[in-house]
Amino acid sequence: MKQTVLLIKTSSLGDVLHLLPALSDARQQRPELTFHWVVEESFAEVAGWHEGVERVIPVALRRWRKTPWSALRSGEVHRFLGALRATAYAPVVDAQGLFKSACMARLARGWRIGFDRQTARESWAAWLYQEPLAIDRAQHAVPRLRQLLAAALRYPLPDSPPDYGLTVRFPRRKGLETGADYDYVFLHGTTWSSKQWPEGLWWELARLSAPHRVLLPWGNAEERARAERIARLAPGRIRVAPRADLTQLAVWLSAAQAVVAVDTGPGHLAAALGVPVVGLYGPTNPHRTGTVGPNSHWLQGACDRLACLQRVCPLGDPPPCWGALSPERVWSVLGSLT
């Protein structure tokens, strides 16, 4: 008899990618199971990249919060609830651990499993599960989610390296094999101002990278303007990427010799694709949420308040923790990975 598991992991990009190794484990250990996945509409294509996902159920909580009455009048919420309840699941696994994700689990049809009160990101979420599980929070998200799914679906936890399941769709091919006109990708954009490596340091790293060619993707107008300023240092050698969706970004990343990234979702994507990544971390803790891949290297800033997790640094702009990460140090590590 066919059994279908519902996974709830809605956002953000890095968090969604962190669940993929657990899904690969489950596919190997319980091949009789099929999987549906509730995910924010912005990341629906990412969930669909994994061959283990039979159906993606997009949700638009971020957009609905801005225009709730419009979402209700348009019927979007009703259609989402219909899709959520269309299948009887065995079980429903909330891998987000937030009250909003637990509510979606409660609305679905199936035995509800998630983190317990001590280990959920929001303790109230655990009240809505029928089977709360204690999964230690003092570890990286990737092994934590692998443990959650192994416990929820009753299979032994594999000791193999994380497998994101993306190599079939995005085979690892370096630039010479694809005709790419770049060697490195610099991922300079991120959501928090405190996680941004100062622009002047990007300029210096771009100078040090000569004669290598550099591609600068961007996700919004501010990031595009920064990319254009950096690219002016060496027109032709440093190129601003055109606007792209996540699938195109994955293609670009898979062809790079290496990637330098601040704490941002595309950095996790590069690591998931098996690309060498130098991750730059200021106020966040890479031991909990850093890039995980076969050739990832973390560089952490220095401050007695780390990891403070402050979106805006109270000590100044740029945050003083970035002073420990010089372009020369980053360039040295980048050279050792390629």
What pLDDT digit, counting tens, does each position of 196-215 carry?
A: 999 999 999 999 999 999 99
Q: Is the distance from CB of 280 to CB of 189 less than 8 angstroms? A: no
Q: Is residue 161 part of a domain?
A: no
> How many domains is the chain built from?
2
Task: Give the pTM.
Answer: 0.95
Residues 23 and 146 in one domain: yes
What is the spatial distance between Cα 131 and Cα 147, in angstroms, rounded to a whole number?
Answer: 15
Q: Is residue 166 part of a domain?
A: no
What is the spatial distance between Cα 288 and Cα 277, in angstroms, rounded to a whole number?
Answer: 17
Residues 28 and 134 in one domain: yes
CATH code, domain carrying 255: 3.40.50.2000
Please tell me the predicted confidence (pLDDT) of residue 176. 46
Q: Which tokens go with 1?
A: 């008899």
Residues 193 and 137 in one domain: no
Please tell me the predicted confidence (pLDDT) of residue 1. 65
Percent above pLDDT 70 for the chain:
98
**Whole-number average pLDDT of the chain:** 94
Please tell me the predicted confidence (pLDDT) of residue 178. 53
Domain that holds residue 122: 3-153
Q: Is residue 259 part of a domain?
A: yes
Q: Is residue 169 part of a domain?
A: no
Q: Is residue 293 part of a domain?
A: yes
Residues 202 and 315 in one domain: yes
Q: Is residue 311 part of a domain?
A: yes
Q: Is residue 231 part of a domain?
A: yes
What is the spatial distance between Cα 131 and Cα 114, in angstroms, rounded to a whole number?
Answer: 7
Residues 99 and 182 in one domain: no
